[in-house]
Amino acid sequence: MSSDEQGAVEATEETFTKQVLESSKPVVVDFYANWCKPCQMLAPVIDAAVRKDGRVGLAKVNVDTQQNLASDYNITSLPTVVGFYGGQPVAAFVGMRAPTAVAQFVKEVAEKAK
């Protein structure tokens, strides 16, 4: 299980179930592509919001290398961010968001565990 400097894990088809669906806490999943400029701009905002909240995990899925996962969750636009809890998607947004909106999204996902 690889992780970047912020503690996000890079999820693959082989690891997604364990890292995301079977997680005991909510997980925010950032579906991205390396060529996607909005994805590159949003990534540090998501990382910061998840770190600040502390109640959720963060996984990243590269849609170019994990096309089946992208298809499974109907990812057609980037960036797409999906919150999972209990093995199910519980919230999502598509496109850029302001840091305050991302923080609110992370809070909403975290509160699904209550």
**Residue 30 and residue 106: Cα distance in Å, rounded?**
12
**Residue 42 and residue 25: Cα distance in Å, rounded?**
22
**Residue 64 and residue 48: Cα distance in Å, rounded?**
24
**Residue 2 and residue 100: Cα distance in Å, rounded?**
28
Residue positions annotated with a catalytic role: 36, 39
Q: Which helix (H) or strand (E) holds 70?
A: helix 67-72
